[in-house]
Amino acid sequence: MNDDRPVLLETRGACLHLILNRPRALNALSHTMVRLLDEALARAEQDEAIDSVLLSGAGDRGLCAGGDIRALHDDARASGHASLEFWRDEYRLNARIARFPKPYVALMDGIVMGGGVGVSAHAGIRVVTERSRVAMPETAIGFVPDVGGTRLLAAAPGELGTHLALTGRSVGAADAILCGLADHHVPARLLPALTEALGEPARPDDAAAGIVQGFATEPPAGELAAQRDWIDACYAADTVEDIVRKLRESGVPAAEAAADELLTKSPLALKVTLAAVRRAARLDTLEAVLDQEFRVSSRAFEHPDFVEGVRARIIDKDNDPQWKPGSLAEVDDQEVARFFAPLGPGEEELGLAPGLAETSAWEGQAG
C-alpha cells in the first residue's frame, strides 16, 4: 500500500529516519515538507530516546531536486508572498540542521540540488554515492544560490565554489567531498545495509560516525582537482566580465567552454551570485549568511528574470530565456547592491543573526 505522506518518519532503534516522499517530483520540497522536517527535528532534539537522525529520499533517482520551482514560479507571476514564507521557514530549517546537537546523517544519493543541498550539506555526516550529482544550479533560472549554499561554496578550496556557483554545474562524489559538500562515499548498493546498521541498538563505541566510516570506500575519480590551475586563476577576478575574459584567454578548452556556459545564464543573477559568494566569505556564521540570502532571494523573486528563467528552462523548455538586462555590460552595480540592502517598509527580515539589519559596511558595493 502506497503512503502518500510527503515526509515519512520511521524510528529504528534510537535512530529517527526521515524520508522525503515525493519520488515522482524527485522529492522536491514543499512548504509542508519543510514544516514537517522542522517539527520532527525539534522533537528529536528533545527526545532522549533518539540518538541520531537519518535523512534519505524515496525512489532511486535522488535525495531532493530542490524546492518546488513551479509553485515558486506561479507565486511570482501572481505577485504573491507564499514563496517568501516558504524560504523563511526553509532557511530556519537549514540553520537547525547545521546546529542539530545529535548525529544527523544525510544520504545524498542521486540528484541533490538547491534545497536538497540545504537539507543535507549542512548535516554533521554527509554521504554521497557513485550516483550522486550535487549542484546549486540557480543562475540558469535567473535566481541566486541560497539555503546556505553561498557559505558552503565560499568555503570550497580556491575558487572551486565560485566556479560551481556561477556555472551551476553538478559534481559527483569525489568532487563533492573535495569541495566540502560531503564527507564520505558509500556505494549505493550498501545504503540499505547502512540504514539498517544505523537503526541497530547503539553501543558506546559504535556511534553514527563510526558506522558510516565502516561502510565508506574511495569514490570514483573526480574532475575538479585536475582543473584547479585554470579555475583558481580565472575565477579570482573581481568581476564576472573579467572572469569570462580570463576563461576565454586561458587557452584551455574546458575554460573556454565554461565561458560559453556563463554567457547563457542571467547576467544579473551572475553578478549578484559573485557578490553573494564573496560577501558570504566575510560573514562569521551560517545564520548571517542565511539572513543575507533571504534579502537576495526576496529581490530575485521580484525580478522578471526568475519567472522567465523558469519558463524557459522548466516549463516551456525552449532554453531561450530573454534576460533583462541581456548582457553583463548592462547590469548596473547599484542594482546588484540593491539585492543586499535591508528590506523595506512592510518587509520582515529573516533575523537569524542579530544586528544584520543595522549592518551597512557593504552597502553600495557590488562585489
Active site residues: 67, 115, 138, 146
d(CA 12, CA 20): 17
**Residues whose CB is less than 8 angstroms from the CB of residue 252 and which lie 6 or more positions away in sequence, other chains included:** 230
Please tell me the total number of residues recorded for the chain in this structure: 367
**Beta strands 15-20 and 7-12: pairing type?**
antiparallel
**Residues whose CB is less than 8 angstroms from the CB of residue 297 and which lie 6 or more positions away in sequence, other chains included:** 84, 87, 143, 144, 146
DSSP string, 229-250: HHHHHHHTSSSHHHHHHHHHHT
By C-alpha distance, which of 143, 135, 94, 84 is closest to 111?
A: 135
What is the CB neighbour count within 10 angstroms for residue 175? 25
DSSP string, 264-313: TS-HHHHHHHHHHHHHHTT-SSHHHHHHHHHHHHHHHHHSHHHHHHHIII
The grid coordinates of residue 336 equal 546588484
- In the chain, DSSP assigns E strands to 7-12, 15-20, 52-57, 62-64, 104-108, 111-113, 125-128, 133-135, 184-185
**Residues whose CB is less than 8 angstroms from the CB of residue 107 and which lie 6 or more positions away in sequence, other chains included:** 54, 55, 56, 57, 63, 127, 129, 191, 194, 195
By C-alpha distance, which of 213, 136, 128, 123 is closest to 172?
A: 128
Answer yes or no: are the C-beta atoms of 21 and 5 closer than 8 Å. yes
Backbone angles phi, psi at 55, to 5 degrees: -115, 130
d(CA 145, CA 293): 8
d(CA 267, CA 240): 9
Interhelix angle 82-99/31-46, rounded to 10 degrees, is 30
Backbone angles phi, psi at 64, to 5 degrees: -170, 130
